């Protein structure tokens, strides 16, 4: 079972991975975007970690989020308010909606998380009007959510493969879609960052 501390550890690991991979994410966003995906997410996840840490320290001032749902909802709100690019509201919505679907349970099973992330991915699709195959983060998120009932490792692998499979696709949503056929041949940066999220989820589950 996964508790609030697990989700805090995951988000800290995700922030570290985003920080480490920020240059690569921004490079992916250069040929088919505006070269800011790494810096956008670095700013956002740094703020997420800072907020989660401050809610541990200042327990008298703030009610610390002490359920998985509350941790994810707070992280999502922080991403929305910190990241100006498209990825901020999209990832923020993913985490908020996932958190809401988990309700106020103190511990959740992997299957509960898979169901909640499904609701989160659906909300991302609704907000951005995209579907799998449009060369967006959903091309990594949806296969990962599909595989999560099998194992965390399977979800991480599906996300990585989903991200790689965006290379031959033509973008139909987001900035990259402005390029039309010229978007073909490049990996989608948001799919690459979604793979990082699921890789760090699997790493967190192993430790």
Under 8 Å between Cβ of 78 and 94? no
Q: What is the CA radius of gyration of the chain?
A: 16
The answer to whether residue 34 forms part of the interface with ligand ADP (CB under 6 A) is yes
Binding-site ranges for Mg ion (CB under 5 A): 29, 33-34, 36-37, 85
Residue 100 or residue 175: which is nearer to Mg ion going by CB?
A: 175
Q: What is the sign, positive or negative, of the torsion defined by CA atoms of 204, 41, 20, 8?
A: negative
Q: What minimum distance in Å lies between the beta carbon of 191 and ligand ADP? A: 6
Pick what 68 binds: Mg ion, ligand ADP, none; C-beta below 5 to 8 Å, kind-dependent: none
Torsion of CA 125, 14, 205, 64, to 10 degrees: -90
> Residue 176: exposed, middle, or buried by beta-carbon count in 10 A (0-12, 13-18, 19+)?
buried
Under 8 Å between Cβ of 2 and 22? no
Which of 7, 8, 40, 152 touches ligand ADP (CB under 6 A)?
40
Residue 83 or residue 114: which is nearer to ligand ADP going by CB?
A: 83
In the region spanning residues 117 to 176, those forming contacts with ligand ADP, defined by CB under 6 A, are 124, 128-130, 136-138, 173-175
Q: Which 3 state secondary structure label does DSSP give 3?
A: strand
Show the binding pattern over residues 41-80: x = contacts ligand ADP (CB under 6 A), - = does not: ----------------------------------------
Place of tokens 């940066």: 189
Positions touching ligand ADP (CB under 6 A) are: 29, 33-34, 36-37, 40, 85-87, 90, 124, 128-130, 136-138, 173-175, 188-191
């Amino acid at each position: 079972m996964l508790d609030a501390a697990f989700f805090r550890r995951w988000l800290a690991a995700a922030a570290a991975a985003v920080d480490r991979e920020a240059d690569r994410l921004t490079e992916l966003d250069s040929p088919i975007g505006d070269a800011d995906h790494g810096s956008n997410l670095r700013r956002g996840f740094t703020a997420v970690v800072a907020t989660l840490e401050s809610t541990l320290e200042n327990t008298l001032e703030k009610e610390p989020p002490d359920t998985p749902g509350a941790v994810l909802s707070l992280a999502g709100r922080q991403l929305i308010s910190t990241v100006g690019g498209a990825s901020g509201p999209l990832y923020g919505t993913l985490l908020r909606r996932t958190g809401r679907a988990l309700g106020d349970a103190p511990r959740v099973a992997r299957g509960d998380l898979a169901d909640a992330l499904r609701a989160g991915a659906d909300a991302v699709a609704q907000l951005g009007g995209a579907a799998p195959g449009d060369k967006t983060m959903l091309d990594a998120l949806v296969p990962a959510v599909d595989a999560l009932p099998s194992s965390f490792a399977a979800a991480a692998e599906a996300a990585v493969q989903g991200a790689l499979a965006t290379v031959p696709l033509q973008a139909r949503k987001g900035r990259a879609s402005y390029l039309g056929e010229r978007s073909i041949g490049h990996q989608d940066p948001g799919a690459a960052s979604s793979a990082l999220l699921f890789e760090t989820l699997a790493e967190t589950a192993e430790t």
